[in-house]
Structure 1
Amino acid sequence: MKHSILGVPLLALGFWLAAGPTSVSAQDSVVLVLDSSGSMAGQIDNKVKLDIARSAINELLGKLKPTTSLGLIAYGHRRKGDCGDIETIHEVGTPDAQAIKQAVGRLRAVGKTPLSAAVRQAADQLNFTVEKSTIILISDGKENCGFDPCELGRELNQKGIDFKVHVVGFDVPSNERAGLRCLAEATGGRFVLASNAQSLGDAISEVVEVAETIEAKPIPPPEPIGEIGLRVDVVVSDGGAPWEGEIGIKVFRDTVALDDTREEIAGAWRTKSGHIIKDLTEGSHRLEVVLADHPHIVREFSVDVVPDDAQIVVVNMDVGQVRFDASLMEGGPPFTGELGWTILARDKDLDGTRQQIANFWRVKSGDVFWLPAGSWQLDGVIADANYLTATKELAVEAGGSAGHVFSFDAGTVRFDASLSAGGPEIEDELGWKVMSTTKDLSGNRSEVTNFWRVPSGDVFLLPEGTWLIAGVLADHPHVMMQNTIKVAPGSEVAHQFDFASGRVRFDLTVNGQPISDEVGLTVLKAENDADGNQEKIADFWRVKSGYTTVLPAGRYELTALLADQKDVTGRFAIEIAPGDEKILTLDMTRP
């Protein structure tokens, strides 16, 4: 039997496997209550505490029997300062491991510690007054939402039927342990302290109640198989767990044709690890394996096929999981819009570019992805505001899982426009340019972004800073204004822009008689400039009587002529005030 073993990583399950035998009762119902409050963003041994707990839960899921009834509740993971931030991640029942892992992977350590309310909610879900049940609370601090955990423990113990709360205190300061200890001991449960990843695994192993012991065993080598063919076993890491998702397999002849291609002779799409490829010819072949839902992860290598033999090749995909959390300010709430992430090689090629490893477009904050192990550059962008970007370096550990937090340092602005101060909102379409307040050596301003043909009241995202905003009426480009605004990360501010203009309609006659002819109109400033010239404000060519436009407030001289009879003219003095709605009757003269 031949085995081709190529290396690959498994998600860090870490804790319980290291902690030795763990048991889980097939009859008991268990709810895990996980602290995701702001303090869980702290680090132990250069690892975020929430990530350590997250890995521990992933490990537990891999050891539970299918008959175990499990629920999971988290708190403090969505909003700052909200004692009601408690969420049921998984209802009590047969655990959906993949769904739980994905949900736990999206948790962020941001909020308060309503541990008493979360434990009470868990007890209610377990129907603890009539059924045997267990709660395991994992927390790194004391209650800070006004409840007494000790009093809660006594109440639950009095009402419960064979009910226990076990508490794992994770890196809890000595002056914050009393309430957690009392909650556990009041219900007959255990209070166990953990100070690092290893001891957390040991602590959880100690408090998980069992009826049947499930030994944590190393992953065995592939067993011999009797079926003739090449079996492709795909693993996450070197010596790690099998890849549970779907894969694609292609087998090519080893020889290269004149056009630098290889002939594909076998394959399978959206199959699973362990797929057997039959009827391959003897000799050397090229085997390509791709993760079907993660096509940026591909492995290709040579394999020697022995005829009429049962062979196994173990393909190490060498990948880890990452979660990308995005906000508009450091420590702010998750950004709810869509995002784009591009993973690039950290080092540039000779031509100065970086190789693209993967790209994820229009995804959400908190989404989880698989990436090849290694050190990469990550470029993030807000999908609908591509001028807002963030870049950082990240290391992906084979078989590991890690969360990465990004702040786009941006604020939300609303641009409200009117023709006069305090006037009604303008209905015309608008254009906005966002520019630097300073000019470069050439006298130009750098443009951050622009928005064209948008209505008043539209909302935009802008980067942190002080910006010059240039506004224009899209259909009246001679009507403009400028204003300076400041944007702070995470801010939400409405800005009022006054175009100081009026709306005017021109009713034209010739020698007192209405006309249907096309005319040309030119609007000039009434006063001459320093050179003795009148500045032109606007031209309107081949318009008709009744034409309506918007003009900036001021005094003007308007000249008019018939487009096809240029000897029919008129010259008029007009004045526009902010917010005007004027009808001007202009009588031209025919010689």
Structure 2
Amino acid sequence: MQFWKKFALGAVAAIGLAVPAVAAERAVIVLDGSGSMWAQIDGKARITIARETLSAVLADLPDDLELGFMTYGHREKGNCGDIEMLVEPTVGTGAAIAEAAEGINPKGMTPISDAVRLAAENLRFTEEKATVILITDGLETCEVDPCQLATELEGQGIDFTTHVLGFGLSDEDGQQVACLAENTGGQYLSAADGAGLVDALTKAVAQVVEVAPEPAPEPAPEPEPVAAHNLKPTVSFAEGGPDLVDETYDIVWSWYKPNAEGGEGEYVGTDYYSRFEGTLEPGEYILKVEIGSASATQPITIQDGKIAKPHFVLNAAILKLHPRSSEGAEVSDDASTEIKLNGEYLAYEYGDVDIVVPAGSLEAIVTIGEAQVSRSYTPKAGETVEEDVVLGTGLVFFTTEYAPGAKVEDDIFMEIFEAKVALDGTRKSVAYGYNGEQDYELPAGDYVMDYRLGGASGQVPFSVASAERTDVPVSLDAGVLSVTTPTDEYVEIFSSTKDIAGNRKSFDYGYGPSFQTTLAAGDYVVFSRKDDVESETPVTIKAGERFELTIEVAAEGGKKK
């Protein structure tokens, strides 16, 4: 993290403080706060990496840069309107933005387009120059076309720009959001890890800072004709394989000054595509190429009057996985796939998977709902592995009633277990949730659902068939008991009869002055105690009905029973 911070501060200082600014610039950073930001890169959650990046890059900003901070999907699931401006655009907001990012708890949807629109409107983009910097690890999930939005904003704005930082996005997914930048004259920057995100955010902030032009130099003598470029690299997936010449895969070239150990040192520049032709100052560099999750580096030497033509072999394969809940089903957009290389985390994908990966021992862990399967592959360099991954799931839908016509509105607890009982008498827990209506996508098989609401509980066996929906209505045959006490008396509900040992079963307990629980239909005893004063009151609960009991104050020093 110390390296990131030093790098970021140095870069921002160089672009923002070395020369005087023409006028105050205004921008808003929009950070993805959707649930996918809990996915990990090198053992660390993406949201954690994003927080560290903001803290490092924004620690020292130009004095006249007005910067705001917005997020989405951080407060509730399934709400496309969950968008919030956490820090209004003004100068000196670096620390405030870093602090606001610490409080983001990813959980919801990805309303990219509406967030960018709101940020633009906050910046009054139709009246003055404005820039939005979007950091996202996913695609639009709220049925708004980001490409069309970008075209609209560009046409309406005075000087509007969007830069998009694709954090952990596949090459294909990155193309789907890159139009937000391209259609507004901005840049799409891909970041595969924390260092890449620092690099991308630093460049984006640099684009916002408009500096005064330097005085025009004195006319120089006409130079001798030279080549238009001095670097033309090529890349192939395998040794002896064809060079990549189309743009099916996003190719990222980055070059650095070598450090003391001969590895990547000071960052110099980045460019894209197989047609890249660079012009660098003569000297020694480390050149890196990245496609998907595969990369390769090598040292290069740039000489006057010569064109360096280094060739890279990625030693990479193409992995295409199509997760389906059942045979013949469409590819599941809800599927998630974790990809490991030699047992170590490599990438995390959603929905259809089409990714460039290093050749070697790969494991793909595919999850749909509560079902999960693992696939192993050992592709060679240049090969393509393609497979339909069928999990064989079905959908089970639970509805609950106290009695016919009396729907349960409270958060009833349900836990799903495998029907098979282990030698120690336990069952394997599969999933759980809280609601009167719940649904789960489960592998085909036999299960038991345990439910609990107040003092009412029970079990419901059920089976799931692949590619089918199973509706399971649950009748609690229960009612509601409401107990009012004079103050904070202890209240406990017992069975009306005792077992052979003379004990009564306890169903629920709590404290007054207002205590409420759910009980199966039947007879009970309500026990109440305050200091040394106790009382017992028999009650009868009927299914689908509410029974209200008021316990009166006992005579002073008395014991009511």
8 Å Cα contact 1:236-1:242 kept in structure 2: no
**Match runs of 1:52-201 below 5 Å:** none
3-state SS of the aligned residue for 2:283?
coil
**Which of 424, 427, 430 is the aligned partner of 1:448?**
430
Residue-by-residue CA offset, 1:263-310 (whole Å, 9 max, x unaligned): 23633244653322421316xx4321123xx2x221112334444312
In structure 2, the partner of 1:406 is 389
2:299 matches 1:298: no
Residue 586 of structure 1, CA deviation? 4.5
Distance in 2 (alpha carbons) for counterparts of 1:496 and 1:309 = 77
Correspondence 1:528 to 2:508: no
**Alpha-carbon separation, structure 1, partners of 2:424 and 2:495:** 29
Contact 1:229 1:279 in 2 (8 A): no
The question of whether the paired residues in 1 share the 8 Å contact of 2:480 and 2:546 is answered with yes
Q: Which amino acid aligns with 2:495?
A: K
In the alignment, which of 537, 550, 553 is matched to residue 572 of structure 1?
537
Output the TM-score relative to the length of structure 1.
Answer: 0.51
1:359 aligned partner: 348
- Please give the alpha-carbon distance, in whole angstroms, between the structure 1 residues aligned to 2:382 and 2:412: 52
Give, in angstroms, the shift of residue 392 of structure 1: 1.4
Structure 1 position 371, deviation (Å): 2.8
1:558 and 2:519 are equivalent in the alignment: no
Match among 292, 305, 308 for residue 308 of structure 1: 305
Query: 2:340 corresponds to which residue?
Result: 344
Q: Does 1:426 align with 2:426?
A: no
Runs (5+) with no aligned partner, structure 1: 1-101, 104-224, 348-353, 509-515
Displacement after TM superposition at 1:532 (Å): 1.3
Cα separation, 1, equivalents of 2:268 and 2:245: 22
Q: Give the C-alpha shift of residue 423 in structure 1.
A: 3.9
Does residue 368 (structure 1) correspond to residue 369 (structure 2)? The answer is no
Query: Residue 464 of structure 1: CA displacement?
Result: 2.0
Partner of 2:254: 250
For residue 378 of structure 1, give the secondary structure of its aligned residue in structure 2: strand
The alignment partner of 1:279 has SS state of coil
- Compared with structure 1, are the counterparts of its residues 459 and 449 closer, same or farther at alpha carbon in structure 2 (3 Å cutoff)? closer
Paired residues of 1:231 and 1:277 also in contact (CA < 8 A): no
Aligned AA for 1:372?
Answer: P
Determine if contact 1:249/1:287 at 8 Å carries over to the other structure.
yes
Q: Is the 8 A contact 1:235 1:242 kept in 2?
A: no
Q: Is the 8 A contact 1:328 1:409 kept in 2?
A: yes
Query: Which deviations, in whole Å up to 9, do the C-alpha atoms of 1:157-211 show, x marking residues without a partner?
Result: xxxxxxxxxxxxxxxxxxxxxxxxxxxxxxxxxxxxxxxxxxxxxxxxxxxxxxx
Q: Secondary structure at the match of 1:497?
A: strand
* Equivalent residue in structure 2 for 1:394, among 377, 391, 414: 377
Cα distance in 2 for partners of 1:471, 1:533 equals 25
2:364 match: 378
Secondary structure in structure 2 of the residue aligned to 1:239 = coil
Match of 2:357, as an amino acid? L
SS at 2:388 equivalent: strand
**Aligned 8 A contact 2:396 2:471 in 1:** yes
Partner of 2:462: 485
Q: 1:550 to 1:226 in 2, by over 3 A?
A: same
Per-residue deviation, 1:443: 3.3
- Matched-pair identity in %: 15
Q: Which has the higher strand share?
A: 1
For the structure 1 residues 573 and 441, does the alpha-carbon distance in structure 2 shift closer, same or farther, using more than 3 Å as the test? same
Two-structure CA RMSD over aligned residues (Å): 2.9
Using the alignment, how far apart are the partners of 1:507 and 1:343 within structure 2?
A: 57
Match of 2:266 in 1: 264
Conserved? CA contact 2:255–2:287, under 8 Å: yes
8 A contact 1:234–1:274 mirrored in 2:
no
Cα distance in structure 2, aligned partners of 1:278 and 1:494? 66
Tell me, what secondary structure is at the counterpart of 2:323?
Answer: strand
SS of residue paired to 1:309? coil
Deviation at 1:471, TM superposition (A): 0.8
| Residue in structure 1 matched with residue 438 of structure 2 by the alignment | 458
Report the AA paired with residue 298 of structure 1: S
> Cα distance, 1:539 vs. partner?
1.6
Instruction: Tell me the TM-score normalized by structure 2.
Output: 0.53
Q: C-alpha distance in 2, partners of 1:265/1:344? A: 28
Contact kept in structure 2, 1:470 and 1:482, CA below 8 Å: yes
Instruction: Indicate how the Cα distance of structure 1 residues 356 and 549 shifts in structure 2: closer, same or farther if over 3 A, else same.
Output: closer
- Any unmatched runs of 5+ in structure 2? 1-171, 174-225
Is residue 229–residue 310 contact of structure 1 (8 Å, CA) maintained in 2? yes
Q: 1:375 to 1:587 in 2, by over 3 A?
A: closer
SS at match of 1:308: coil
Structure 2 equivalent of residue 21 of structure 1: none
1:64 matched residue in structure 2 = none
- Give 2:329's aligned residue: 333
